[in-house]
Structure 1
Amino acid sequence: MPNSRLNLTKFEHETDLLYGIIDSIKEAVIVFDATHKVICVNRAAKLLLGIDSTPDPATDWDERHYLFFSDGNTPFPIDRLPCFKSADTGMAETIELRVKRADGSNVPVSVSGRGLADRHGNISAWLALLSDISPQSDPENNCCDHAAYVDQYRRLAGIDNWSWNAINDRAYSANAQAADISIKKYAENLLREKEAEILENQQNLRSVLNHMPAMIGYWDKNLINKFGNKAYEEWFGYTAESLLGKHIREVIGERLYALNKPFMDAVLVGQPQYFQRTIVNFSGETRYTQAAYLPDGAKGHVKGFFVLVTDITELKSAQKRIGESEARLRAMYDSLPFLAWMKDKDGKYIQANKLWLQAVGIDNLRDLTNITDFDIWPEGLAKHYRAVDREVMLTRQQVSLTERAFDAGRETWTETIKAPIVDDKDEVLGTIGLARDITESRGAEEQLRNYSERLRLATKAAAIGICEWDLAVGFADWDERMYEIFGIPVGTPVDYQTWAALVVAEDLPRTKAKLRKLIRDQQEEHWEFRIRRQSDGALRFIQASAIIAGNPTSDAQKIVGVNIDVTNFKLIENALRDSEAHLAHAQAQAHLGSWSIDIRDNSLQWSDENYRIFGTPLGTPIDYEHFLDCIHPRDRTFVDTAWQAAIRGEPYDIQHRIVANGKVKWLRERAELEFAEDGRFVRCIGTSQDITELKEIEKNLESSRLQLRQLAARREKAREEERKRMAREVHDELGQMLTALRMEISLLRIKFAINNQGLSEQIRNIMELLDQTIQVTRDVATSLRPSAIEMGVVPALEWLVRKFSEQSGIQCDLLYPEDDFDMDEECAIVIFRIAQESLTNVLRHAAASKVSISVNLDSDHYCLQIYDNGRGFDTNAPNKTKSFGLIGIRERSLMLGGETNISSIPGQGTSIQVRIPANPTRPEL
């Protein structure tokens, strides 16, 4: 049924209409609620009680008593009124009482009534009907009323004492002077006005009833229609005029007549009937209805009955959706991978998910009523939990707890988070808690600590010192081995000046240059330098390796380095020049072979360690051709070219592979060549170091880097999938739940807030907060994954550009080809996220007034270019090369085999160019 006929947009208007209908009833009507308190007194009842001018009749009724037994002195108990009895018997009883009016006069009345049922057939209020019976039962009062009428006419005629001559229809005063008024004509005029007023009221009432969305009709005891509103036309095709005089069977049809016949029989003997029925209306639509048949008259004197039929199709649908939403919400709550619960201010549990119920041994949620921690846990633990809850509610702060326990002899660890529940009035209602088992993660942490301790022991045994330099504060964090290598007492604060003072002056410039290069390039660096140990002044040779670590966005940089005391290796290397024995020993220790070439006698000499490295028997004659035969076939040309270049004066420091006894080894060869005065090569001394293990380490390191990059790609893909899933669930599931909740609150307002202004205002506030929550839910879903991304990369970029311009006020232009191009979802997301990260950088750092974004397809590559006219930056500056934002952009393009070029000049803006293959080969994740 349409419900917009009355155009009532506010709840107060609906309430006013209902009160108006009750007020228009001719009989005196008083409506009581379930506590026997008066909630409504109509106009006829006010006149009968003599309280017409009282602002609030319900309040006046509470302050004094109006109903008395027939003696006029004994108050009649309200709870014994016939209307309350009809709810039990189904029959309306009629009794006679006296009303003591506000002015003290008595009026005999006949009192009957009935219960008022809601749409579900439940009695929630009672209606009492009071009829004045004074003309039949109280002649004395009747005479008083006639005297009052005579006095009224006297005042109207302006005569103090008068008499009326019926012959000439004139009123005469005491001195027989005729008045200027005809009482008969006055009475006729008054009667006509009253009839006109009654007709107008009837027409107004009929108009109101015709605008009601519910079917309202009146049928006599022979089931013949005497009245029907316009809703009958929409339901059964009958106008109000054509409905009059028709039998109810002709109107509703044989099927409905047969179904409703028992209810009609019951109402015609004075029993109100309430039921629900499915009806196919005039348009062929199936609708759910709720019907009420109300008798007109008491038992044995029923003249007919009223019919009220309300369309509850939408209510049924809403109830179904609410039930489904509650089921989904509960399923989502139970699907949480951790324990979850809620408690009120007194510590009583009011909600918990399935995992929590299983953990504490409670079968279902109904058994949770009035349960506290003292009913579940030992007293000591329950007191602890209660104290934590009170702290959370007092401080209004979230707390995190890590607790240890033993389950069947097994040590377990639980991480618990508790937070306060605060309503919109800033009142604390209770606490909410989440708990998860972290036993496995604690075990992993313990294992990590064990590994760290083993690493510490290994570095100590290998004479390796580890240090971290905080460039922001200028101080270093050294381990014990570092203090030992530099001869400084353990725990002494070490800054740059302390360290630089120990470096040999000749090596300090080269060391500083290495550090500057490390910070500038953000690449791992290796070098050697000498120090004078502080404790004894001994000369030590240090081999250093370092990397840059830290958070670029917070300008926090650290140099993480490893220092190895290689003094012994250096001493061995120097001793080789003097002693062959020392040389052989040193080579054996360092897996370092030596060789020499002398052109004058055309000889090539290898050390014993060199024979071992090449897998050649000791004493085997060696020449250059034999050396080349040992080189891996793929490296021979490279080695020969490097040697020929060394003869021409180039440095000889190369790495290559050899094949020794069927095994491939990696060597590092270095040589110092001597030349004659005329530039001819004379001789050289070189070394061959077996670096196979080092290469394996490098290979593993490179593999680890590749795995990290693949892991990052997988993680990014998983994050996008999770964002997509969360956005869909937030928009579809939570959005639908909030919408259903809003409808349910609207129904609560209609059902319970009619006579409760405070509750009505509170429900209105809740509705406003719920509307804000729905908007926040939409914003969260959009921020997680804009819906525009589903339509392609161009609509997504248009949405991003529009949102960026609205929020920042910066002009942002988007250029794209007129011909659309297909782009798979993974590539589109990467392009979108790169553009999003770039605009974020512009907003945070660039201070630009204009941004330009272009995307197109060029030579089987998707090209994205972002330019801003902001302040720009030095791309070689350390604080930029470590920027996670720029690194993230590069890594995203690398995920799809793309490349990124970032160019910027201070004061001239920044340009980011990204090229991604249109059909990239995805890395194996």
Structure 2
Amino acid sequence: MKTWSVESLCLTVAAIALVLASLVALIAVGDAHAVPRWLFSLTMALSGAALVVSLRIRALAMARNAAQRRYRHFIDTAHEGVWTLDGEARTTFANPRLAQMFGATPGTLLGCPMQDFLGDNPRRDLAEMTSADAAHVGCTHDLTYRRVDGSVGWAIVSGRPMLGDDGLAQGTLLMLTDITGRKAAELELAAVQIGLEVRIRMRTAELERSNAQLRIEVAERQMAEHALAESFRELRQLSSHLETIKEEERKRIAKGIHDELGQNLMALKIDVEMLHARAGQRHPLLKRKVGDVLDTIDLTIRSVRAIMNDLHPSTLELGLPAAAEWLVQQFEKRSGIATSLSVAEGDGPLPDSHRTEVIFRIIQECLLNILRHAQATRVEVGLDIGMEYLTITIVDNGVGMAPGDAAKAASFGLRGIRERVDVFGGQMVIDSRPGGGTTLAMMIPLESHATASLD
């Protein structure tokens, strides 16, 4: 049975009204009394109303057709794929964009099941997408779709039920936004990130190995430095012990010379003097020979005394300032080089006997080096006894040293001086340039501030 639309029904009623009006008008023209006036008027009114209604309905139909064309144009030109399915998930409509995404034409998609294109996705997502529940408000998923040629793409798929006049779901409306390019970029980025993470892990593992090796090397170096420091401490102790032994041996030899050789020489001198006195005038030749022997004995005694002073000057028993003054005087007397000494004694303690002997030998070695190498005409020696340190300064106006001369293997004098200074944990600085003389400064801790290694 044919279903009449509201528009068709209204137009049919209007046409019938117009026909009736025309018949009434013909009857009225033929016989004016055959048709009552009111019926004629009513017929004309109905005819006019029918005409107005038909015109209005025509205008509404034209507006509806225009809206449908605009809607169709919107659907056909949309950037999203529009897809409608019936209750069995078969295609009832597909716009050109959807057909383009699937690699087909809209006509070829009609009747195709959804599984042909979205079947690779989880069933739970598809079931949620095509739910027939009228209360379902829709859902959105990132799904893959398979084109007609078998290639795969990605789309954001939004689905919601299409409701009929009775409020029941009659199918599903799907909107697909193609994101294949974005997904490809995301996959490429994910691959880059995975590669980067692998490289980071490898680099981290490499750094951890390097750090472990570095820690081992640091530990080995610390052990080596500790062993070196221990060896250096033992060397300083040994050097200090050797200096003590050497000084004690000098004392012993000097004492032995004084007690034995010196006394024997004095006894011999007394005997020879008695022989010289008894020779008198009667044996002039013998007296002259005995006199020569006495002169030789005196020279020998002076030599023995000089040797004893060189081995262990008796002035050392008077303290460092007195011993340094005697040493400077002897150096000036023997070398002919003008030598001066300045002593600044503060409130600090004087060096002990061991330090006094070592410092005396340091000054002595410096003066000998100046005599051998400096070609100087003037030497200044300074002693500054402070609260914590003793400072020794020796300045000459000699030929000086070139850079690196102090580190040469043949510089045994300076090396010995530095070793003596190091024994007490002191410091030594050399300032020299060719033709500009040399300044040697040493700073040695006093007894109360000696290093623990010498305890």
- Please, what TM-score do these two structures have when normalized by structure 2? 0.49
Q: Which has the higher helix share?
A: 2
Higher Rg = 2
Higher relative contact order (CA 8 A, sep 6+): 2
- Please, what TM-score do these two structures have when normalized by structure 1? 0.26
